[in-house]
Amino acid sequence: MGSFRLQDLVQGRDRRLRTGWRLLLSLLCYAAAVILATLANRGLRGFGMPRAIAYVTALAIGIGVLLGFTWLLRRTIDRREWSGMALGPLLPGLGRFGIGAVLGMAMIGMLFGVMWASRLLEVLPAAKGAPGASPNGLLLGLAGFLAVGFEEELLMRGYIFQNLAEAMPLWPATLVTGLVFAGLHAGVAGWNLRFAASVVVISSLLVILRLLTGSLWTAIGWHFAWDWTQDTLLGMSGQGNGRSWIRVAFHGPGWLVGTHATPEGGMLWIALELIVLFAVLAWRKRRGQAVRWHGRLLSNGEGGVTR
């Protein structure tokens, strides 16, 4: 037996920082980007910058900081190719982004329609004295959820999933990514095991979208559209802020429809997520494209699907 060395706890045989430590660094970088964006927003408003401009500028700072940190981690700590993030140039990626956005918006729309038709959801009149929706609010919601979608996807289905999938088969890499993503939302009011399970399913769907399209932009588009449609447009979460276009009330048990704080925790939501997940897999398999769940990803992000 070889002698124990403390260095072996942090460094693998390839002389790189072990995967767990790299993932911890990425989470710390994400936290730093969020904190810096928050401080920038307060500082810019303190200097008299209009609220909307300060907010959008701070979002851009947060995105830039996280993008820079992630690039440094990938190139200097991972010592691997940036292409492994599956984040191609913006303009060619807009088509993939659009595909994801349409799917995310359609899923929320289906849930809204089913719940409204079955009287599990009621559309309410605007609250007396509430500011209601405005073009400015809708645009700020677009900017905010676009930033959330980009940052969380770059962290989760980009950096964390890629590192895990290089070290283990795709199916445990997908599961662990989902569990980390669920843990990232542990501070949400009303967080419970159903909500965590739903987040794991959503994460798995986003992994599949990344793999089958070869682009993280698809997952970014879905994430952005799901959040914005659910919260700002249809008011199915984040109630009480008076900024959603529609104001609704849920009727029915929480285990079925969820709550405004954690709507994804309803079994109705989880059922739709699973249906879409398996439908996407089945559709792509019929077209000769299947996920290689027992395989691993190459450092450039390739190798996850058969074509």
Q: Which residues pair with 250 in a beta bridge?
A: 121
- Please give the Cα distance from 231 to 291 (Å, whole number): 32
Domain spans in the chain, listed from the N-terminal domain onward: 1-79, 92-306
Q: What is the pLDDT of residue 113?
A: 96
User: What own/partner pairs with CB < 8 Å and gap ≥ 24 does 11-20 have?
Assistant: 16/77, 16/78, 16/79, 17/77, 19/163, 19/164, 19/167
- CB 203 within 8 Å of CB 181: yes
Name the 3-class secondary structure at 5.
coil
Q: What is the pLDDT of residue 242?
A: 59
Structure tokens of 189?
Answer: 């009011």
- CB 265 within 8 Å of CB 254: yes
Contacts of 64 (CB under 8 A, 6+ apart): none
Which of 141-164 are b and which e, b meaning 16 or more Cβ less than 10 Å from the residue's Cβ? bebbbbbbbbbbbbbbbbbbbbbb
- HSE toward the beta carbon, residue 193, CA cutoff 13 A: 0
Q: What is the pLDDT along the chain (307 residues), one digit of tens a residue?
A: 455 565 656 666 677 899 999 999 999 999 999 999 999 999 999 999 999 999 999 999 999 999 999 999 999 999 999 999 999 998 889 999 999 999 999 999 999 999 999 999 999 886 554 555 677 778 888 999 999 999 999 999 999 999 999 999 999 999 999 999 999 999 888 899 999 999 999 999 999 999 999 999 999 999 999 999 999 889 898 754 557 788 899 999 999 999 888 899 999 999 999 999 999 999 999 999 999 999 999 999 999 998 7
For the residues of 218-250, what is the DSSP string, one character each?
A: HHHHHHHHHHHIIIIIT-SSSTTSS-SSSEEEE
Beta strand 121-124 with 290-291: parallel, antiparallel or unpaired? Answer: unpaired
Give the angle subtended at the CA of 141 by the CAs of 198 and 195, to the nearest 5°: 10
Single pTM value for the model: 0.94
DSSP annotation of 132 reads: -
- Please give the Cα distance from 291 to 281 (Å, whole number): 8
Contacts of 195 (CB under 8 A, 6+ apart): 182, 185, 188, 258, 262, 264, 265
Q: What is the pLDDT of residue 189?
A: 83
In the block, residue with structure tokens 């700020």: 140
Could you tell me if residue 48 is left (phi over 0), alpha (psi between -120 and 50 degrees) or otherwise beta?
Answer: left
Structure tokens of 232?
Answer: 């700002």
- For 86-153, strand residue ranges (E) read 121-124
- Please give the Cα distance from 278 to 271 (Å, whole number): 11
Q: What is the pLDDT of residue 14?
A: 72
Contacts of 14 (CB under 8 A, 6+ apart): none
